[in-house]
Structure formats: structure tokens, C-alpha cells
């Protein structure tokens, strides 16, 4: 069995790099997963795997890029496993139980953002965050890697095991969709700003 123990110098270096990059890794995991629980699991798993394979880490590339690749691959594994397990049902349908007298229903969780998530999302405009949340997991991942983490196309292609041309074309389509949805939200916001004052004037006229 391979010896995974690190030397004291590698242990200290890994600890420093983990502390310096932890918040960025968590932020990225949250952008990808869209919720705190998955982001925490992805972050912990990523650093655990990074520690186990730290002897293979090549110091000629930034540690953050290396750990980002691990997070992204873990997220892709998570998506694949959930696709295999997911079965679409209605929230109104009862769950099957062994006893015909027992009837169970889904309890829909509260998905409202907590203070930590609000703080994390504060760097993005409200409209942009809404649009990002509306994208598919794959589209959100591309935007996160290219536009939030500013990774080059070649690095993204290596992470996702896709040709650079494929990454470029998919990002182009995703950027176009992002602009369309942002423009739609902005037009809606402008329309609401115009309507609200007129309603107020109508009320005060009485």
C-alpha cells in the first residue's frame, strides 16, 4: 500500500496552502453546488483528496488551480451519481410505506438563503445571481470556472476533459443565454419602477 504520510515540511506547506485557499475553494464549491451543505462536503472532500495525493502535486502550477480541478471533478461525480438516483415525483404524492394505514408526504425544505449565503452572494448583483441560479449545473460550472475564477480555456478543457473548441463554443452559448436572461430581468425591473410611482400618485390623489 502506498505510504500517504507527508514529511513535516510538506505537512506545513499543505497546511499553509489550505488556509490561504480555503475560502476561495468553498466559494467556488458554493457557486457550483448552489447550497451550503453540498459546498461544505465538496470542500472537505477536495482537501482530503488533495492531502492524499499531495506528493503528486507539481509546484510549477498554482495550488488554487490544482485544488479547483479536484473540486470540479468531485462536483461532476456528484452530478453523475444524482442523475442515476433521481426519480421525478410530485410533492403532492404520498410516499409508499409498508403499512397501508400510514401515509407520508414530502416535507419541502426551506431553501431561503441564510446570512452566510447572502454574504457570499453579495459580490454579485441580485439579477446576476438569479440568472446564475437559473442555469443548468454544467452551464453554471463553465461560468464559475471561466468568469468567476478566471481560469484559461486550456485549464477548463483539461479539468472537464473536453477539447478547447468545445469549451469555447459552450461558453459562447452560455454567455449569450446569460445576457438574454439578464436583459429580460433588467427590463422587468425597469417596468416595475415605472409602474410603482404611478400607483402611488393614484392612491394619494384620493
Q: What is the pLDDT of residue 97?
A: 45
Judge whether 104 and 94 are in contact, CB under 8 Å: yes
**Predicted TM-score (pTM) of this structure:** 0.64
pLDDT tens, position by position, 69-95: 899 999 989 888 877 655 444 444 454
Q: What is the pLDDT of residue 160?
A: 83
Who contacts 201 (Cβ-Cβ below 8 Å, separation ≥6)? none
Of the candidates 120, 110, 107, 91, the one whose C-alpha atom is nearest the C-alpha of residue 33 is: 120
pLDDT tens, position by position, 109-167: 443 444 444 444 444 567 777 787 788 888 888 988 888 888 889 988 888 888 999 99
**Mean pLDDT value across residues 18-44:** 91
Domains along the sequence of the chain with CATH: 1-85+116-123 (1.10.1740.10), 124-206 (1.10.10.10)
Average pLDDT value for the chain: 76
Report DSSP letters for the chain, one per residue: ----PPPHHHHHHHHHHHHHHHHHHHHHHHHHHSSHHHHHHHHHHHHHHHHHTGGG--TTS-HHHHHHHHHHHHHHHHHHHHHHH-----TTSPBP-SSTT--B-------PPPHHHHHHHTTS-HHHHHHHHHS-HHHHHHHIIIIIS---HHHHHHHHT--HHHHHHHHHHHHHHHHHHHHHHHHHHHHHHHHHHHHHHHHHT-
Q: What is the pLDDT of residue 190?
A: 76
Amino acid at each position: 500500500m502506498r505510504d500517504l504520510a507527508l514529511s513535516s515540511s510538506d505537512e506545513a506547506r499543505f497546511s499553509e496552502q489550505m488556509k490561504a485557499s480555503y475560502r476561495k475553494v468553498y466559494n467556488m464549491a458554493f457557486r457550483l453546488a448552489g447550497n451550503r451543505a453540498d459546498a461544505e462536503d465538496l470542500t472537505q472532500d477536495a482537501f482530503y483528496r488533495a492531502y492524499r495525493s499531495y506528493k503528486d502535486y507539481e509546484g510549477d502550477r498554482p495550488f488554487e488551480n490544482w485544488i479547483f480541478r479536484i473540486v470540479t471533478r468531485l462536483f461532476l461525480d456528484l452530478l453523475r451519481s444524482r442523475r442515476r438516483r433521481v426519480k421525478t415525483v410530485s410533492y403532492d404524492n404520498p410516499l409508499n410505506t409498508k403499512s397501508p394505514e400510514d401515509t407520508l408526504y414530502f416535507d419541502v425544505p426551506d431553501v431561503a438563503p441564510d446570512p452566510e449565503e447572502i454574504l457570499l452572494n453579495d459580490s454579485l448583483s441580485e439579477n446576476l445571481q438569479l440568472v446564475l441560479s437559473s442555469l443548468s449545473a454544467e452551464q453554471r460550472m463553465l461560468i464559475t470556472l471561466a468568469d468567476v475564477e478566471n481560469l484559461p480555456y486550456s485549464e477548463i478543457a483539461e479539468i472537464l476533459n473536453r477539447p478547447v473548441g468545445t469549451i469555447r463554443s459552450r461558453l459562447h452559448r452560455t454567455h449569450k443565454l446569460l445576457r438574454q436572461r439578464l436583459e429580460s430581468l433588467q427590463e422587468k425591473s425597469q417596468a416595475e419602477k415605472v409602474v410603482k410611482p404611478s400607483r402611488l400618485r393614484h392612491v394619494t390623489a384620493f
